[in-house]
A and B are shown apart, each in its own frame.
Chain A
Amino acid sequence: MNQTIEKKSEKPKLASAETAKKQSLVSTLSKSYVVWALIALLSVDAFCRIFWNDLKLDHYASANRSMVWWAVDDFRKQEKTPELVLIGSSLLMHVLHGGDAEYFKLPQNEVYHHKAAMLEDLLSKESGVKVNSFAFALAGQMASDAYALSSTVLKGEHKPKVLIYAIAPRDLIDNTLGSPASTEIFRFMNHLGGARDVAWQARSGLWEKVEYALESISGLYAHRNYFVYLQQRYTKSLLHAFGYKINDEVHTPFALRRLALLDMPEDIGSNERIALPNLKATYTDNSDEYRRRYQPFKEKDFRMQLSYLDKLMAYCNQEGIELILVNMPLTQDNLQLMQAGSYELYKSEVGKLASKYKSRFIDLQDSKRFDKSLYCDTAHMNGAGGVQFFTALSKKLTDGSSLALGKNGTWQ
C-alpha cells in the first residue's frame, strides 16, 4: 500500500522535474543572442512568406538578365498580345536572328529581337495576312522548358492564337542536362511562380528536392533573387548620384565573361549578342558536343521529356491555342551522331502526340533542300539557312488548312 502511494507521488515529481528541465532549457536559450537573431530572422521570413504577393513589387525583376529574362521582359511590354508565338532552342535562335539579319540586311540585337519579322513578311506576301509574332528562341530549351515557359507566360490575356514549337531531337535527348529544373528557363519560370505542377518532379536529385523544399518553406530563400536585384538597383542609383552611369551593356571580352558565367547564373548584356548580315561564318564541327548529348540514348530521360511535350500539348488544347510542331532540319552528320533508331523513335513518338492532340507536325528535315552550305555547324543554320527555313515554313503554313487565316487579313 505504501509502495503504491510512493509510486503515485513519484509521477508528479517526475513530471515537475521534466517541466523544470524544459523551463531551464528555455531560460538558458533565452540568454543566447543567436537564438534572438534566429527568432528575428524567422519573423522576417514568415512575413515574406505570407505577404510577398501583396507587396507591390515588380515580380519580373531579376538580378541576372538571362536570354529568357530579356524575352519575357519584352513579351510583357508588348502592347498587343501576338497572335503567333514561336518557341524553340538555339536551332530556332540561329534561324531567327541570322535569317532576319540576312533577309533585311540589318544587324539584329538578339536580346531585343523577338519578332519573327521575315516570317511575318513572307506570310503577308503569300496570304495577305498580317501576323503579329513573338519568338521565344532560347538556347538550350528542352521540352520541359517549353512547357514551363508556355504554361507560365502564355496564359490569360497573353494567350496567342497559334504556337509554333520548333522541335529537334536534342529537345528530348540531352545527356548533358542535369535535371529538367536545372535550366535557366525553368528556374526563371519557377521564379515567376509558374510550373509549380511539375516543380517537384522536375528536380531529380535528393538535394535538388531539399533545396526546393527549403524554397517552399522559407520566404527569404525563395525570393533571394529579388533582394539581389534590389541591392543592384540601389547601388546603381547611388553611383548615378556620383555621376557614375551604369547601363545594361557589358564590355568585357566574352572569353572572360564565359569563365565567370560557368559558375554564375546566365547573364547577358544588352550589347553582347548581335547577329550580322552577310556573315560568312566558318563551319564548326561540333560533333563531339552533340555526340555527348545524344549518346548513350537514355530512353527513360527521353520518355520523361516526351511527357513534358505531352503536357505542353494538353495545355494548348485546354487553352484553345493551336499548336504546330515543326521538326527542325539537321545535317546528315548530326543525324549520324545519334544511336541507331533513336531519330526514328523521336519522329514517331512526336508524330503520335501530334495525332493524339490533332496538331500539325511539319517535318522540315530535308538534307537536299537544307544542304551543308546553309549550316554553321552540324545543327545550327547560318543566315542564308535561316532565310531558306522561313521560306519553307511560310509555304507550309499558308498551304495548310489548319492555320486559320482569314481572307480579310486577320486571324480567325
Chain B
Amino acid sequence: MLFNSIKYALFLPLVAILFWACPQRFRVPLLLAASYLFYMSWRPIYIFLILGLTIFNYIAGLLIASQQERKKFWMITAVSGNLLLLVFFKYAYFFDESLGALLKPAGINVPAIPFEIVLPLGISFFVFEFIHYVVDVYRGSEPVRSFLGFSLFASFFPTQIAGPIKRFQDFVPQFLAEPKFSVDCLDEGISLIVTGLFKKVMIADNLSFFVQGGFSNPNLFTGLDLWIFTYAFAFQIYFDFSGYTDIARGSAKLFGYKVPINFNLPYIATNIAEFWHRWHISLSTWLRDYLFIPLGGSRCSKWLNYRNLFLTMTLGGLWHGAGMHYLFWGAFHGLALVLHKEFQAFKSKVAPLQSFFETAAGKAVSVFITFHAVCIGWVLFRAETTEACFSILSKMFFLDPIYKTSSLVAMNLPAINYPLVYPAIYIILPLLALAHFAMNFVKEKDLLPSIPKPLKAIYCFALIFVILTFSPDKSPRFIYFQF
C-alpha cells in the first residue's frame, strides 16, 4: 500500500477516525492491527517475519535487563540475529556473486543460491530500530514491558517501510499515554501529508522520468547534459524521500504522535559534515550512535578517527543496497568527511582563508562546493552499473568538454506533455534550488507560526487541488522503499 495510492487515502482516514472514536485501551491494539494489515497488503507471508523479530527482540530486551551477568551475551545474540536476517535477505545474492567472481580464477565454482529471496519491505529500517532497542537496553535504558507497545514501536505503519528510524525512548511513551484530539494535530498532520504528496507526486515523480532517461542512456548525452541529469536526480531523491517522511510524520500526527524529522534543507549545507546533519538525520544519528561510536568515534588518534569515519560511511552506503556502487557512494562520503576534517585543520592555520569562509561570499562558495560534491556522490548512487557510473563521471569531468552545449535531446526528454518538468528543466531546477533558500529564510525568521490561518487554508486547498488534478496516472514507487 503506497502512501500515494487511493488505498492509503481511504485507509488512513478510516484508521484515524476509528482511533479517535475508540477508548484509549483499544487504541494501541487498533493501530497494531492496522499496521499489520498495512504490511500484509504487500506480501502477507512476511507478517511472520515482523512478528518473529518483534518477539525475539522483546524477549532479548527483557533478558538483557534482567540478567546483568549475561547481558552482553544476550545483546550480542540479539544484534547478531537481527544482522544475520538482514544480511540473508539483503546481501545473500551479492555475497554469493562476489564470492563466485573472487574464486573463479582459482577454479572454484560457487553455486548460485537455489531459491528466490524476496527482500521484505522496510527490513533495513525496522532491523535498525530493533538493534537500537537492544543496544540501548544494554546501555541501561529501561526495556518496554508492554508487548503491544513494543510491537507497535517497530510496526507503526506510517514509519514501517522507510522510517524515520525512531528511538523507543521518545516514541513508546507517546502511545502509552492518552493522546488528546486537537485541531492543531489535524491541521499539522494534513498539511504535512499534502506537502509530502506534492513533493513526491508533483516534483520527484516528474523528475524521475527525466532522470531515468539520462542515467539509462548516458552515451547519448554530453557532459553538460549529464550534469543537468545529476542535478535533477539530486532534487528527485531529496523530494522523494523528504516527501515520504513528511507523509509519515503527518500520518503519525493524525494520531497525536510525533515522529523525528529526517531532513533539514540539506542542500544549503556549507560542508559535507553539515550535510549529514541535515540529510536522512535519523540514519546518520543511528550510524553515529551504533557504529561510529562503538568503533571508537572521534576520541582517539586522528588516523583511527578517519578510519572510523570511512568505515561508518562505507557500511552506511552498503546499507542502502547490495551493489558495488552503493559501497563506492558510502566510501566517497567517508573520504569526503576525512578531506573535510583535513581542510578544516588547514583552514584554521591560514587566517585569510578562515576569514574568507566566514563571509557571505565564502559561505556561498562552501554551499556550491558541498552541493557539487554531494552531486558527484549521487552519480555513484544512481548509476545503473559501475561501468556506467565511471563513464558518466568521465564525461562530466574529463573526456567530454564542458563547452559542448547542452543538447536538445535533454531538453525534450520530459516529452511534450508532462505536467511539471515540462516545458523546461532549466527553469525548474533553479526554482527548486531557490525554494531551498526561501525555506531557509522562512525557518530562520520563524515565519511559519505567524502565517495567518486563511493563508494556510489557501495553501492546503491549492496543494490538494494540484495533487488531485495534476498527479500522473501511474506513480513510480518511493525510491527508499527498495532499501
- A→B interface (CB under 8 Å): 28-29, 31-38, 40-41, 44, 63-65, 207, 210-211, 214, 218, 220-221, 223-224, 227-228, 231-232, 235-236, 239, 244, 246, 248, 250-253, 255-257, 259-261, 263-265, 267, 269
Contact = CB atoms under 8 A, between A and B. Distances in A.
B460 A37 contact: yes
A207 B474 CA distance: 13
B409 A63 contact: no
Given A38-B464, A264-B473, A269-B416, 17 more contacts: A28-B183, A33-B457, A34-B187, A36-B454, A37-B464, A207-B5, A220-B468, A224-B468, A228-B417, A228-B470, A232-B422, A255-B217, A256-B409, A256-B413, A260-B212, A265-B472, A267-B415
Contacts of A221: 468-469
Contacts of A250: 412, 415-416
B417 A63 contact: yes
Most chain B beta-carbon contacts within 10 A, residue among A32, A38, A239, A250: A32
B220 A264 contact: no
A263 B186 CA distance: 34
Nearest to A252: B412
B421 to A, nearest CB: 10
23 contacts: A31-B183, A34-B186, A34-B187, A34-B460, A37-B458, A37-B459, A37-B464, A63-B419, A207-B5, A214-B6, A220-B468, A221-B468, A228-B470, A235-B422, A236-B423, A250-B412, A250-B415, A251-B412, A252-B412, A259-B216, A260-B209, A261-B415, A263-B209
Given A31-B183, A33-B456, A232-B422, A246 B212 contact: no
A211 B6 contact: yes
Given A34-B191, A263-B474, A267-B417, A220 B209 contact: no
Contacts of A207: 5-7
A224 B469 contact: yes
B10 interface: yes
B215 to A, nearest CB: 10
A260 B415 contact: yes
A235 B423 contact: yes
A41 B461 CA distance: 6
Contacts of B454: 33, 36
Contacts of A224: 468-471
B356 interface: no
Nearest to A239: B423
A251 B423 CA distance: 14
Interface residues of B, number: 48
B81 to A, nearest CB: 37
Contacts of B10: 210
Interface of B: 5-7, 10, 181, 183, 186-187, 190-191, 208-209, 212-213, 216-217, 220, 408-409, 412-419, 422-424, 453-454, 456-461, 464-465, 468-474, 476
Nearest to A258: B213
Nearest to B212: A259
B100 to A, nearest CB: 29
Contacts of A29: 183, 186
B293 to A, nearest CB: 42
B232 to A, nearest CB: 13
Given A236-B423, A252-B409, A265 B187 contact: no
Contacts of A37: 457-461, 464
A169 B428 CA distance: 47
Given A33-B453, A263-B474, A264-B418, A256 B213 contact: yes
Contacts of B413: 252, 256, 260
A252 B459 CA distance: 36
A263 B472 contact: yes
A74 B187 CA distance: 49
Nearest to B410: A252
A338 B417 CA distance: 38
A218 to B, nearest CB: 7
B151 to A, nearest CB: 28
Nearest to A267: B417
Nearest to A224: B469
A245 B460 CA distance: 34
Nearest to A64: B417
A227 B186 CA distance: 29
A235 B191 CA distance: 28
A246 B416 contact: yes
A211 B468 CA distance: 12
B472 A267 contact: no
Contact of A265 (B409, B423, B473): B473
A257 B415 contact: yes
A41 B462 CA distance: 9
B16 to A, nearest CB: 13
A64 B409 CA distance: 20
